[in-house]
């Protein structure tokens, strides 16, 4: 009797599916979720500082020291950032299938540091000219720069999805209180990301443009070394997720699709089994995903104990497939967000950026407004808006994840409308002052006109970016949560590539026969306003499609929405 009374509370305090660094069961009272998550939040702040130390001002580096045209530089920035945001799919595969998130984070961090170190070295090498061209004798240096950038992209691909998933793993989604805390974690995670990026944009853009590009790239390298150190310090405090199935989760789900194709040609006995599936499986499972139900059958349609795939495996595959429409319809948002670090920055570089006599802010520093507005809005949303909404909806997160995503998509469309109107005003001002053919002369229009479009993007991110992260983490099978966050990052990555594709097509279509294209190097003769209007329309169409998909979406874990 004495033994049972002692063991009962210990068993109830154990976190299912989690162990400590020695493989022992985790007690909820001993391993604090927020204590462990605080180490990981610190890591992400440092990593974002490092990443944005490169990305936020990369277009200035490419059009300045490298001497590239605006279009070429924008395409290179989009290609690099797109690659950095597509590689998380590979990083998630490695983490979820082989190494685990903890080991993947360490290896990815080392690659990241190597890339930053080489980039710093390449920027410090002496050059004969102030500008380097790809056809000059400095080809080796230019090659080293791009090799370094893509090493950073590889490191980012392994680091980003695993760190965030590992942080969310510190909260037990089956516990009501920890489920609420996990929803808050995604909010505070994004706050940390915004804080890290805001600081780097304010500090490093000034260092890079006024002191040294080598120093401007070296500081992010130091930050990344510090991030790895902080992560290792928390090793003893973390909860490590145990594998619920020895089979590779990617192969397990892939086998369902392969088997479904193999069983596509059904026999009468298979049809009879399908009718039974219609009666026994949830309605949406047997009707909406009839194709995948065939994975439950042998090729000859027999219904035997040794089925090719189990019901749980097929349902798992359906869970992943249901995410595809949401992923596709969020691409409109992803295409538009790519403009913040490219054309928004070039737009600001033509305007009056004087704060006080003798001091002019870098155009790229305006990107911090996105982060600062998010920093302001996230606590308001998390501590005021969510509790109020929760009182009415009885949902842990106040509103559903899809409602949150849709709200942000609407705001992002509005931001592009504002950006188009401001650019029309800038072009009109340049014409009024006779500056159309004087691209090196500052347009007498304050850069603060750009503030609304940046602030609106900060608000859009609070809803859509955080919502997508939480949605993809929560709705994928537990074994594939790194993949879930990789899907979010892939959305932004594909958006960057699509943006680059749009720019190339429009440049070709509008710049023929010697005409000035929408993206002419002389922005006073360009038409970024037309491009912004186009993106606003794409966002509107994407939002309409998203709402249709969201209306019919069935949540995988209804208790967490």
Distance separating alpha carbons of residues 8 and 3, to the nearest angstrom: 9
Strand partners, 360: 354
Asked whether residue 229 is assigned to any structural domain, the reply reads yes
Strand partners, 352: 446
User: Which of 300, 319, 338 corresponds to the end of one domain?
Assistant: 319
Same domain (yes/no): 394, 426? yes
Same domain (yes/no): 286, 397? no
User: Among 45, 46, 44, 61, which residue's Cα sits nearest to residue 364?
Assistant: 61
Same domain (yes/no): 119, 167? yes
Q: How far out from the chain centre does Cα 450 lie?
A: 24
Average pLDDT for residues 145-149, to the nearest whole number?
Answer: 88
Distance separating alpha carbons of residues 316 and 95, to the nearest angstrom: 19
Distance separating alpha carbons of residues 397 and 132, to the nearest angstrom: 51
**CATH number for the domain that contains residue 172:** 1.20.1250.20
pLDDT digits (tens, 9 = 90+) for 328-387: 999 999 999 888 877 888 888 889 988 877 778 888 788 888 888 888 888 888 888 888
Please say if the pLDDT value at position 303 is more than 50.
no
User: Which of 319, 342, 363 corresponds to the end of one domain?
Assistant: 319
Asked whether residue 306 is assigned to any structural domain, the reply reads yes
Asked whether residue 545 is assigned to any structural domain, the reply reads yes
User: Among 448, 392, 453, which residue's Cα sits nearest to residue 421?
Assistant: 453
Distance separating alpha carbons of residues 439 and 143, to the nearest angstrom: 30
Q: Which two tokens stand for residue 519?
A: 């993206």
Same domain (yes/no): 473, 487? yes
DSSP SS3 for 120: helix
Give the number of residues written for the chain: 561
- Segment among 23-37, 210-224, 227-241, 278-292 with least mean pLDDT: 278-292
Asked whether residue 66 is assigned to any structural domain, the reply reads yes
pLDDT digits (tens, 9 = 90+) for 195-214: 777 778 778 888 888 888 88
User: In this structure, are strands 351-352 and 443-446 parallel, antiparallel, or unpaired?
Assistant: parallel
Asked whether residue 13 is assigned to any structural domain, the reply reads no
Average pLDDT for residues 58-84, to the nearest whole number?
Answer: 80
Distance separating alpha carbons of residues 44 and 234, to the nearest angstrom: 13
Same domain (yes/no): 266, 363? no
Q: How many domains does the chain have?
A: 2
Same domain (yes/no): 439, 379? yes
Asked whether residue 17 is assigned to any structural domain, the reply reads no
DSSP SS3 for 179: helix
User: Among 169, 170, 206, 254, which residue's Cα sits nearest to residue 482?
Assistant: 169
Asked whether residue 109 is assigned to any structural domain, the reply reads yes
Same domain (yes/no): 276, 418? no
DSSP string, 67-103: ---HHHHHHHHHHHHHHHHHTHHHHHHHIIIII-HHH
Same domain (yes/no): 133, 238? yes
The band of 301, judged by pLDDT with boundaries at 50, 70 and 90, is very low
Same domain (yes/no): 329, 210? yes
pLDDT digits (tens, 9 = 90+) for 429-461: 999 999 888 888 889 999 899 999 999 999 998
User: Among 202, 465, 496, which residue's Cα sits nearest to residue 338?
Assistant: 496
SS (H, E, C) 315-337: HHHHHHHCCHHHHHHCHHHHHHH
For 26, the enclosing helix (H) or strand (E) is strand 25-27
Average pLDDT for residues 29-55, to the nearest whole number?
Answer: 81
Same domain (yes/no): 135, 172? yes
Average pLDDT for residues 213-234, to the nearest whole number?
Answer: 89
Give me the pLDDT at residue 173, please: 66
Asked whether residue 457 is assigned to any structural domain, the reply reads yes
Helices and strands, number each (H, E), in the chain: 24, 7
User: Which of 319, 348, 364 corresponds to the end of one domain?
Assistant: 319
Same domain (yes/no): 290, 195? no
Q: Which domain holds residue 278?
A: 249-319
What pTM was estimated for this model as a whole?
0.70
């Amino acid at each position: 009797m004495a033994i049972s009374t002692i063991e009962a509370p210990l068993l109830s305090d154990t976190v299912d599916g989690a162990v400590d660094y020695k493989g022992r069961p985790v007690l909820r009272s001993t391993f604090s979720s927020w204590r462990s998550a605080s180490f990981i939040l610190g890591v992400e702040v440092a990593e974002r500082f490092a990443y944005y130390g490169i990305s936020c001002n990369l277009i200035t580096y490419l059009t300045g020291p490298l001497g590239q045209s605006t279009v070429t530089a924008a395409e290179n920035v989009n290609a690099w950032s797109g690659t950095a945001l597509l590689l998380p799919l590979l990083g998630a595969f490695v983490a979820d299938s082989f190494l685990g998130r903890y080991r993947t984070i360490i290896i990815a961090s080392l690659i990241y540091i190597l890339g930053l170190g080489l980039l710093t070295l390449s920027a410090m090498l002496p050059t004969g000219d102030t500008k380097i061209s790809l056809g000059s004798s400095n080809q080796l240096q230019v090659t080293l720069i791009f090799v370094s950038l893509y090493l950073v992209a590889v490191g980012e691909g392994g680091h980003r999805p695993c760190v965030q998933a590992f942080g969310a793993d510190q909260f037990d989604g089956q516990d009501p209180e920890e489920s609420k805390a996990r929803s808050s974690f995604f909010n505070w995670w994004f706050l940390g990301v915004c804080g890290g990026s805001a600081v780097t944009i304010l500090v490093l853009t000034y260092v890079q443009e006024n002191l040294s590009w080598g120093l401007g790239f070296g500081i992010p390298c130091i930050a990344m070394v510090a991030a790895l150190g902080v992560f290792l310090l928390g090793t003893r405090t973390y909860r490590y997720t145990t594998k619920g199935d020895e089979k590779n989760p990617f192969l397990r789900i892939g086998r369902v699709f392969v088997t479904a194709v193999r069983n596509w040609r059904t026999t009468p006995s298979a049809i009879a089994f399908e009718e039974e599936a219609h009666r026994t499986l949830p309605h949406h499972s047997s009707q909406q995903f009839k194709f995948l139900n065939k994975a439950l059958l042998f090729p000859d349609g027999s219904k035997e104990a040794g089925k090719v795939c189990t019901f749980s495996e097929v349902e798992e595959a359906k869970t992943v497939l249901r995410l595809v429409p949401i992923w596709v319809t969020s691409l409109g948002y992803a295409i538009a967000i790519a403009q913040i670090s490219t054309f928004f920055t070039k737009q600001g570089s033509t305007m009056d950026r004087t704060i006080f006599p003798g001091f002019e802010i870098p155009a790229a520093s305006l990107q911090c407004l996105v982060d600062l507005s998010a920093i302001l809005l996230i606590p308001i949303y998390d501590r005021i808006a969510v509790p109020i909404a929760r009182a009415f909806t009885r949902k842990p997160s106040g509103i559903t994840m899809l409602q949150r995503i849709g709200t942000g998509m609407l705001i992002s469309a509005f931001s592009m409308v504002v950006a188009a109107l401001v650019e029309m005003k800038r072009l009109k001002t340049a014409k009024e002052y006779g500056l159309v053919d004087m691209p090196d002369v500052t347009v007498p229009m304050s850069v603060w006109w750009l503030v609304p479009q940046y602030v609106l993007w900060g608000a859009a991110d609070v809803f859509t970016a955080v919502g997508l992260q939480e949605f993809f983490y929560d709705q994928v099978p537990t074994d594939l949560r790194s993949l879930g966050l990789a899907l979010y990052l892939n959305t932004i990555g594909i958006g960057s590539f699509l943006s680059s594709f749009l720019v190339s097509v429009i440049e070709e279509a509008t710049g023929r026969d010697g005409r000035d294209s929408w993206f002419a190097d002389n922005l006073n003769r360009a038409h970024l306003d037309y491009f912004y209007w186009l993106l606003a329309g794409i966002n509107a169409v994407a939002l309409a499609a998203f709402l249709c998909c969201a209306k019919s979406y069935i949540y995988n874990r209804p208790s967490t929405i």
